[in-house]
Amino acid sequence: MNVRTWVYWCISGTTLLACGGAPVPHDALSAAQADVKGAEVGGAGDNPKAALHVKLAKDQIEIAQKQISENDNEEALRTLNRAQADADLALALAKEAKAQADAAEASEQVGKLRKEIGK
């Protein structure tokens, strides 16, 4: 093999490696899984709407894992982005529901106390 041939194969090999498909979205997978966990810890299970989005996120993580196993990494990344959006929304909904319940309880306490004082 002369130098010219060697350079040709080097360039060809590098090009093939660079164009050999998207890398496995490990980070996106970990982030989506962590967000789902966060939503569950944040009380998403106590609110039906939040629970629905947790389920959507989990389903999509499962799909993404399948896509990764089929080397469809680009598609998997997009699916994981969707999953993460669902998990983040689930946590926000859970927090909102909790804040609303706390506010209602505080208002009720004020009402009760006023009633007692007014007696």
Please give the residue ranges that form the binding site for other proteins (CB under 8 A): 53, 78-79, 81-82, 85-86, 88-89, 92-93, 95-96, 99-100, 102-103, 106-107, 109-110, 113-114, 116-117
Instruction: Give yes or no for a contact between 94 and 43, defined as CB atoms under 8 angstroms apart.
Output: yes
Closer residue to other proteins in complex, CB, 1/117: 117
Closer residue to other proteins in complex, CB, 59/102: 102
- Kindly state the smallest distance separating residue 47's Cβ from other proteins, in Å: 10
The residue type found at 73 is N
* CA 20 – CA 27 distance, rounded (Å): 19
Closer residue to other proteins in complex, CB, 6/107: 107
User: Cα angle at 61 between 60 and 66, to 5 degrees?
Assistant: 95
- Kindly state the smallest distance separating residue 70's Cβ from other proteins, in Å: 16
- Kindly state the smallest distance separating residue 117's Cβ from other proteins, in Å: 5
Q: E strands along 1-119, which residues?
A: none
Max CA separation in the chain (angstroms): 104
